[in-house]
């Protein structure tokens, strides 16, 4: 009888420990996703600034490149806007599913960040080379 209490106590302790580990992983992943978003979100201004500068370039020889640059900047902007519209903070109901979701969102916002930063860099180089 006493042995069964010990087993129950150990199983309860193990379950609570796993729940705490999942909660910690959830919190850490959520914070990482938000940190990536918060770091790159201000770069939206850079996208709009670069787009405005590129539109001011008047050169018929560059029209196709200008159009491509604007299209790339628009796509980077849309990638962030779309990610923000689709991201939902998970509820605490099914922790394993929440962790999977946050891992996917971390990968997704990392890709958005990379697209934004690369597009801004390319646009700034284009502007510098064609002013």
Residue 32 in domain: yes
Residue 1 in domain: no
As to burial, measured by CB atoms within 10 angstroms (0-12 exposed, 13-18 middle, 19+ buried), residue 22 is: middle
Domains held by the chain: number: 1
More confident residue, 29 or 8: 29
Residue 125 in domain: yes
Each residue's pLDDT tens digit, 73-100: 999 999 999 999 999 988 867 889 999 9
Residue 11 in domain: no
Place of tokens 């560059």: 62
pLDDT band at 4 (very low <50, low <70, confident <90, very high): low
Domain membership of residue 39 as a residue range = 22-129
Residue 12 in domain: no
Residue 16 in domain: no
3-state SS record for the chain:
CHHHHHHHHHHHHHHHHHHHHHHHHHHHHHHHHHHHHHHHCCHHHHHHHHHHHHHHCCCHHHHHHHHHHHHHHHHHHHHHHHHHHHCCCCCCCCHHHHHHHHHHHHHHHHHHHHHHHHHHHHHHHHHHHCC
Q: Which tokens belong to 39?
A: 């770091």
Judge whether residue 21 has pLDDT over 70: no
Residue 84 in domain: yes
Residue 59 in domain: yes
pTM for this model (two decimals):
0.80
């Amino acid at each position: 009888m006493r042995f069964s209490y010990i087993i129950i106590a150990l199983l309860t302790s193990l379950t609570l420990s796993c729940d705490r580990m999942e909660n910690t992983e959830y919190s850490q992943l959520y914070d990482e996703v938000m940190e990536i978003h918060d770091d790159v979100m201000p770069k939206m201004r850079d996208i709009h600034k670069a787009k405005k500068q590129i539109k001011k370039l008047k050169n018929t020889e560059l029209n196709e490149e200008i159009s491509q640059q604007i299209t790339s900047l628009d796509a980077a902007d849309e990638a962030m806007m779309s990610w923000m519209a689709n991201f939902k903070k998970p509820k605490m109901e099914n922790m394993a599913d929440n962790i999977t979701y946050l891992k996917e969102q971390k990968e997704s916002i990392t890709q958005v960040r990379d697209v934004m930063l690369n597009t801004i860099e390319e646009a700034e180089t284009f502007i510098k080379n064609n002013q």
